[in-house]
Chain A
């Protein structure tokens, strides 16, 4: 399965899926290893006898297979090991001896063994180690709360909201991939590789750095502004548009909407627009109501105004830009048939990295 012309093809990576680990940590581990696998690394996914619980996690394909698992485990090989037995741990130890790096979650029973092995350890945790991280209950929602992201989304007088999708796990997964690349590069350059520890809570806090920066600079934390924000989501004829623009694009926005009322002194500065935001939207919202997202985007882009049409995941499948860049790869799975999913979001000298099917549990592909 390893393609010698791919950039990471000379590396072997073990992804250890121990039993009884919170799913939100597993999603981060699996995403990081998937990126390496799509880039050509030989990724051996060690699963417990019952399989990775992500195999039974939503959303599901019509066949009943997990779309989540299929997306997160492309291009890997799978090996079932019972790590509760000495034989299973012995086999894992052999794998580690010839691997460059291993990825695992902090609560794993085999974590001490993995930290001490020859393969550079990349460890995924919920929290900083000082927070009794291995024992503290964790969920993606709790991470988005703790990292301050929820405080930023929604209406100020209503409950705070999470960002859609598995953002807490996947931001950590992207981070763990970069940590993995650091480990591989250190080894490749003949240096001792540092061990890497990624916690979902710290990544979320890092992503939300403007909240801390803003609070440090002014003494007041930024927070969710909802309908008081200068940026609103407004309805249009066939959906919604995010109204977004920079200070320097205000004048172009006025030209685009073409209502003389926008040239009123109240709206001249950002501070003024924020103070009179309801009046502002009373003027601009009607412009959107009769137009489609496509018409709005075309007219706005012509003026250099970055309005964002809201697309659902289903609509992305027919997006012209994604079709032109073949971003959504076609893949034939031996058991599940034809699939379309996003491939790695990078083109390398014009080349894309087509994912290969995720391994079946019953096939028990044994690493040579």
Chain B
């Protein structure tokens, strides 16, 4: 089968999860994704996941490797006019740009939508930002769980009647879901560009994506100001009883009951978690163990298509869905910094040895970071 997005090329400035995972989903579907970094500005995941100080540490971060498999990697200095010219030339060979810089960063480098549209009107330009590209808060900074708070999700999360809770730095939930939505919209825009010959500027606000998941609560609140909500533990409107219960083996399980049953807590407390889950399931009650990361790694069935192994044996992110009953094919492991710069510039722009040597010597391209922290 021809991959759904084969023949689609992506210029990828995506960083961390929100940006880099949107382009990863396109890569998994067969798009040729060219990830652009520079020695002076690495994807922060290379640094956040730093494992050691030995040479090449920037190529070993698990978080980076998880999110950037199936991409080719280029390191070109965005602040150098020659680097900017090279990137504009690459943009003429691409269908999609994905970026999640702070607003204005690419514009200042002469690489914003207006500049790239001028050289390639078919470009679909996906700008993913905290608050969107317009409005009084467009320049506001946020980091992961900032948006749990400002989107409304935190207000509905927490122990009964206690303070609101955020998903925290090991989840950063709003960063995850934006890529699930943005990838689909980008694909719709590529279809449209193929039909009309005209691309699009797609302005995604991560905060709006998170608030969108509370659509019915916002609608209810708009109709009735008394519709005030607060953290309600694991309860859910319309559900008779549901909660997490501690079992005899010390593990937690979660169960959703069709009618109130006060005996559940003691039933769980006197039995080990596997027996509890099996018994509840056999009675038609939705129940599951509260897995931790180790459980997720070891449950091969559940991991299904969501985790995958790269050719070097490393664990990487898989697909959130099955296509024709299958998961993702890991065609290549995540790129080392600048690994494919020369290859891509030869292939798409016809650069020769002399051109590449000049770029390298002047520091426009590189394979080494010039910074230690980001």
Interface residues of A (CB under 8 A from B): 7-8, 35, 39, 57-62, 66-68, 70-72, 127-128, 130-131, 136-154, 158-167, 170-171, 174-182, 184-186, 188-189, 191-199, 201-203, 205-217, 220-225, 229-231, 233, 235, 240-242, 244-249, 301, 304-317, 320-322, 324-325, 327-328, 339-342, 344-350
Contacts and interface: CB of A to CB of B under 8 A. Distances in A.
Contacts of B191: 7, 184-185, 188-189
Contacts of A198: 320-322
Nearest to B285: A137
A306 B256 contact: no
Interface residues of B, number: 145
A153 B135 contact: no
Given A195-B323, A342-B212, A153 B157 contact: yes
Q: Could you say which of B176, B187, B284, B307 has the most chain A C-beta atoms within 10 Å of its C-beta?
A: B187
Interface of B: 1-2, 4-5, 7, 25, 29, 49, 51, 62-63, 66, 131-137, 139-159, 163-173, 176-177, 180-185, 187-192, 194, 200-205, 207-209, 211-225, 227-229, 231, 233-234, 236-239, 242-246, 252-256, 280-281, 284-297, 301-307, 315, 317-325, 373-374
20 contacts: A7-B191, A127-B302, A146-B291, A150-B290, A159-B243, A166-B216, A185-B4, A186-B4, A205-B303, A208-B171, A210-B293, A214-B170, A215-B296, A216-B293, A223-B292, A229-B169, A244-B143, A308-B148, A312-B228, A324-B135
Contact of B297 (A57, A143, A176, A215): A215
Contact of B200 (A67, A188, A348): A348
Nearest to A345: B208
Given A209-B306, A325-B135, 14 more contacts: A131-B301, A142-B287, A144-B254, A149-B167, A159-B243, A191-B1, A207-B176, A214-B170, A221-B295, A248-B374, A301-B140, A313-B156, A342-B218, A346-B185
A210 to B, nearest CB: 5
Contacts of B155: 164, 310-313
Contacts of A246: 143
Contacts of B192: 7
A164 B211 CA distance: 11
Nearest to A320: B136
A286 to B, nearest CB: 17
B254 A142 contact: yes
A179 B297 contact: no
Nearest to B128: A346
Nearest 8 interchain pairs by C-beta: A164-B156, A308-B149, A215-B293, A221-B293, A178-B184, A211-B293, A139-B256, A345-B208
